[in-house]
Amino acid sequence: MATMKVHGAIYSTASQKVFACLYEKELNFELVSIDMRAGAHKKKPFISLNPFGQVPAFEDGDLTLFESRAINLYIAHAYADKGTQLVYDGKKMATVSVWMQVEGHQFDPVASKLVWELSVKPILGMTTDAAVVEQKEAKMGQVLDIYEARLGQSKYLGGDDFTLADLHHLPCIQMLMGTQVKRLFDSRPHVSTLCADILARPAWLKLAAMQVNK
């Protein structure tokens, strides 16, 4: 079987979603590093894999995909018999899907903005916009209040088992744990327990090692 390829960057949170999924599924893959600083994601040949010019893109034989969450749904279904079960059937999957959508539409837009302001801008020597941070922190607090209530009913966001719904939160949570936003997670007991649980998963720790070894 041809090795799957992820065209991405190890410090890209969207690419990390796919790496984490592949590690959970215990699948081999080749990382094709895209030099984003050089703008390689906006040029050929990468642009032929994702016309939107964003990492990651993915290849499995003759199948080419982009959008990290769609890539992970493909991997989880196509390799259902490998590694951790990350998707389910019927009603159980319907609830997982709800929380996957919540991640994409409620959590990620706020979390990504906070990651940009508090983690990425300082690295690039840019000035953090305190007003944006204040506004997004307030919004994040509201989202996490809903998570806290949800996690009072089930161990994981999608139900009693770890699924893609939880996995997709990992990259931004990891980044935000190194910022002042950590207190918003720590102050909510169920959210805090979930974070500690999923951040300690062997597949996620393997990804951290991937970054250190780079």
Check binding of 67 to ligand GSH (CB under 6 A).
yes
Which CA distances in Å does 61 have to 2, 3, 96, 195, 214?
A: 6, 8, 28, 35, 26
Q: Give me the amino acid identity at 100.
A: M
Which residue's entry shows tokens 């992820």? Answer: 6
Check binding of 53 to ligand GSH (CB under 6 A).
yes
Q: Give me the amino acid identity at 38.
A: A
Check binding of 12 to ligand GSH (CB under 6 A).
yes
Check binding of 174 to ligand GSH (CB under 6 A).
no
Q: How many residues bind ligand GSH (CB under 6 A)?
A: 11
Output 91 or 105, the one with its CB closest to ligand GSH.
105
**Strand locations in 9-155 (E):** 29-33, 57-60, 63-66
DSSP secondary structure code for residue 61 in this structure:
T
C-alpha to C-alpha distance for 103 and 143, rounded to whole angstroms: 10
C-alpha to C-alpha distance for 101 and 112, rounded to whole angstroms: 15
Output 175 or 184, the one with its CB closest to ligand GSH.
175
Output 13 or 84, the one with its CB closest to ligand GSH.
13
Check binding of 161 to ligand GSH (CB under 6 A).
no
Check binding of 54 to ligand GSH (CB under 6 A).
yes
Check binding of 163 to ligand GSH (CB under 6 A).
no
**Least distance to ligand GSH from the beta carbon of 78, Å?**
18
Q: Do 29 and 54 form a contact (C-beta atoms < 8 A)?
A: no
Check binding of 14 to ligand GSH (CB under 6 A).
yes
Output 57 or 203, the one with its CB closest to ligand GSH.
57
Q: Do 177 and 204 form a contact (C-beta atoms < 8 A)?
A: no
**Least distance to ligand GSH from the beta carbon of 6, Å?**
11
- Three-state DSSP class for residue 79: coil
Residue nearest to ligand GSH (CB): 54
Output 6 or 14, the one with its CB closest to ligand GSH.
14
Residues that bind ligand GSH (CB under 6 A): 12-14, 41, 53-56, 67-69
